[in-house]
């Protein structure tokens, strides 16, 4: 019997013949925390007595969730993380460098690796064919110290995507649609494995968007095969030597198979307060919004900003809408300036936020008021997520976000293209 991508990676990294349902201890190729989960990880490391890190070059502390710090408690957390980096030799990614998952994609992840991060959207690196999954502070702390952790090898769902996206429809619409089908717990403990002609044609940015949201269906990982697109991306990032072909065996066993025809999709929005509460954007016409946020580890890449800028060029945000843009990394920001997108956003009336998580987590930079609604390109719309339990979050693509910012209400972007 052949193996799924998840089984192949965990077999290789555990040195066993790993099959779905097995418990394995696997080598960890990269372990990271962010400023919200890092302080507890440091406390647990100290408590364990294992203060030495197995591989400091592959242990990273990211300051991205509250960056720059909005409160003195958080400034002290940052201080502790900076000091720990100095003492332990771990890598530090300071404020303004970007969101951890984008930086892991840009600078660390490669096919076949096992990556654990104390952040649920660690699954993003599955776009590169890495078994990347989120864990809590204690798990990641121990993985950093020992260079390994235990896993239950997940069963896999095969998600085959055929056809081409129609104009105005993107990878974000596909993953929202899929989560709508699966439900918020439809893939709990499972691996989502993506394949098919539409997947073969996807660029890395789209793959990251889809892998990023695998966790919103409860999945442990969202895995893409490593192919020529992966190879070109790694080469462009100076990691060409880390490429290797990675795909499932033709006779691998799947718990479930789902087929999606990309050409049948339309702009999709998740309504409050769960991600699986999806509807076509056109059905939400007339839903007033007071804020639009374009950015995050889901949709803050150059390709996303290009889509939004194309729609916003020569247009203005609705006077009742606050438009916030946060590039996912400083490199995205630099390239967006070069391409003229930032100028376009400013001319359209946007506020440009520093590279980082921005208002996604409800810490700073755009907390909503009572009764207000926001359309965000992020991955989560739980009650209180953006800092106020009396507010409403809708999720959509960068195109839907840009079109909605202009109209002041949720808008199907196809009318503006």
Partner 1 sequence: MLKGRAIKFGDDISTDHICPGRYFHLRSNLPELAKHAMEDADPDFACKVKPGDFIVAGANFGLGSSREHAAVVIKMSGVCAVLAKSAARIFFRNAINIGLPILICDTDRINDGDELEVDLENSTVRDLTNGADLKFGNFPQVMLKILEAGGLIPYIKRYGDFKS
Using rule CB under 8 A, residue 54 touches partner 1: no
Q: At its nearest, how many Å lie between partner 1 and the CB of residue 382?
A: 4
- What SS3 class is residue 394? strand
| Alpha-carbon gap, residue 220 to 133, rounded angstroms | 6
Specify the stretch interacting with partner 1 by CB under 8 A; choose among 1-9, 101-109, 133-141, 245-253. Answer: 133-141
Helical H segments across 324-397, by residue range:
330-338, 341-347
Q: Which is nearer to partner 1, 46 or 200 (CB)?
A: 46
Using rule CB under 8 A, residue 240 touches partner 1: no
Contact 191, 4 (CB under 8 A): yes
Q: At its nearest, how many Å lie between partner 1 and the CB of residue 309?
A: 29
Q: Which is nearer to partner 1, 117 or 295 (CB)?
A: 117
Residue 48: Cβ within 10 Å count? 13
In angstroms, the Cα distances linking 82 to 56, 85, 95 are 14, 5, 11
Q: Which is nearer to partner 1, 10 or 260 (CB)?
A: 10
Tell me the per-residue interface mask from 162 to 201 with partner 1, x by CB under 8 A, - otherwise: ----------------------xx--xx------------
Q: Which of 58, 148, 158, 172 binds partner 1 (CB under 8 A)?
A: 148
Tell me the per-residue interface mask from 22 to 51 with partner 1, x by CB under 8 A, - otherwise: -xxx----------xx-xx---x--xxxx-
Using rule CB under 8 A, residue 218 touches partner 1: yes
Using rule CB under 8 A, residue 296 touches partner 1: no
- List the structure tokens of 115: 């990556």
Using rule CB under 8 A, residue 68 touches partner 1: no
In SS3 terms, 286-338 reads as: CCECCEEEEEHHHHCCHHHHHHHHHHHCCCCCCCCCEEEEECCEHHHHHHHHH
82-91 own/partner pairs: CB under 8 Å, 24+ apart: 84/38, 84/42, 85/61, 88/51, 88/52, 88/53, 88/56, 88/59, 89/53, 89/56, 89/57, 90/53, 90/56, 90/59, 90/60, 90/61, 90/144, 91/56, 91/57, 91/59, 91/60, 91/61
Radius of gyration of the chain from Cα atoms? 20
Using rule CB under 8 A, residue 149 touches partner 1: yes
Using rule CB under 8 A, residue 278 touches partner 1: no
- What SS3 class is residue 121? helix
Q: Which is nearer to partner 1, 90 or 145 (CB)?
A: 145
Q: Which of 7, 29, 97, 119 binds partner 1 (CB under 8 A)?
A: 119
Q: At its nearest, how many Å lie between partner 1 and the CB of residue 357?
A: 10
Residue 185: Cβ within 10 Å count? 11
Name residues contacting partner 1, limited to 249-268 (CB under 8 A).
none
Strand-pairing partners, residue 150, are 25
- What SS3 class is residue 158? strand
Q: At its nearest, how many Å lie between partner 1 and the CB of residue 377?
A: 18
Q: What is the Cα 126 distance to its own chain's centre?
A: 10
Contact 284, 367 (CB under 8 A): no
Q: Which of 152, 164, 235, 244 binds partner 1 (CB under 8 A)?
A: 152
Specify the stretch interacting with partner 1 by CB under 8 A; choose among 101-109, 335-343, 382-390, 409-417. Answer: 382-390
Angle at 71 between CA 66 and CA 75, to 5 degrees: 70
Burial class (CB in 10 A: 0-12, 13-18, 19+), 236: exposed
Q: Which of 65, 172, 207, 317 binds partner 1 (CB under 8 A)?
A: 65
Using rule CB under 8 A, residue 71 touches partner 1: yes
Q: Which of 362, 366, 396, 398 binds partner 1 (CB under 8 A)?
A: 362
Q: Which of 150, 259, 415, 417 binds partner 1 (CB under 8 A)?
A: 150
Q: At its nearest, how many Å lie between partner 1 and the CB of residue 38?
A: 10
The count of chain residues that interact with partner 1, using the rule CB under 8 A, is 58
| Alpha-carbon gap, residue 103 to 44, rounded angstroms | 25
Under the rule (CB under 8 A), what is the footprint of partner 1? 23-25, 36-37, 39-40, 44, 47-50, 65-66, 70-71, 73-74, 76-77, 80, 117-120, 122, 134-139, 142, 146, 148-150, 152, 184-185, 188-189, 218, 220, 274, 361-363, 367, 380, 382-389
């Amino acid at each position: 019997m052949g193996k799924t991508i998840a089984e192949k990676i965990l077999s290789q990294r555990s040195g066993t013949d790993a099959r779905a349902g097995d418990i394995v201890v696997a080598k960890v190729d990269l372990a990271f925390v962010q400023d919200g989960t890092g302080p507890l990880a440091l406390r647990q490391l100290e408590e364990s007595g294992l203060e030495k890190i197995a591989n400091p070059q592959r242990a990273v502390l990211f300051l991205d969730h509250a960056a720059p710090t909005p409160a003195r408690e958080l400034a002290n957390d940052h201080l502790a993380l900076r000091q720990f980096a100095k003492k332990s030799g771990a890598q530090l990614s300071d404020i303004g460098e970007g969101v951890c998952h984008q930086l892991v994609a840009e600078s660390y992840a490669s096919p076949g690796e096992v990556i654990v991060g104390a952040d649920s959207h660690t699954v993003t690196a599955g776009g590169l064919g890495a078994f990347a999954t989120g864990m809590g502070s204690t798990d990641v702390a121990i993985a950093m110290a020992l260079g390994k952790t235990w896993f239950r090898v997940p069963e896999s769902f095969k998600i085959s995507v055929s056809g081409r996206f129609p104009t105005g429809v993107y990878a974000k619409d596909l993953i929202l649609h899929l989560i709508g089908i699966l439900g918020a717990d439809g893939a709990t403990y499972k691996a989502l494995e993506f394949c098919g002609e539409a997947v073969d044609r996807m660029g890395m940015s789209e793959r990251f968007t889809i892998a990023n949201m695998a966790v919103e269906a409860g999945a442990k990982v969202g895995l893409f095969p490593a192919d020529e697109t992966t190879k070109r991306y790694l080469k462009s990032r100076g990691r060409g030597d880390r490429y290797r072909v990675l795909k499932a065996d033709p006779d691998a066993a799947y718990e479930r198979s789902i087929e999606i025809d990309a050409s049948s999709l339309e702009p999709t929005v998740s309504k409050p307060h769960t991600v699986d509460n999806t509807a076509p954007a056109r059905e939400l016409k007339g839903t007033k919004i007071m804020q639009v946020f374009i950015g995050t580890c889901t949709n803050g890449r150059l390709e996303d900003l290009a889509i939004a800028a194309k729609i916003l060029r020569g247009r203005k945000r609705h006077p009742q809408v606050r438009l916030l843009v946060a590039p996912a990394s400083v490199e995205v920001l630099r390239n967006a300036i070069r391409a003229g997108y930032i100028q376009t956003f400013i001319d359209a009336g946007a506020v440009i936020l520093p590279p980082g998580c921005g208002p996604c987590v409800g810490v700073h930079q755009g907390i909503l008021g009572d009764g207000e609604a926001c359309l965000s390109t992020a991955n989560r719309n739980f009650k209180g997520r953006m800092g106020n339990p009396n507010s409403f979050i809708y999720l959509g693509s960068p195109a839907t976000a840009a079109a909605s910012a202009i109209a002041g209400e949720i808008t199907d972007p196809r009318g503006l293209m």
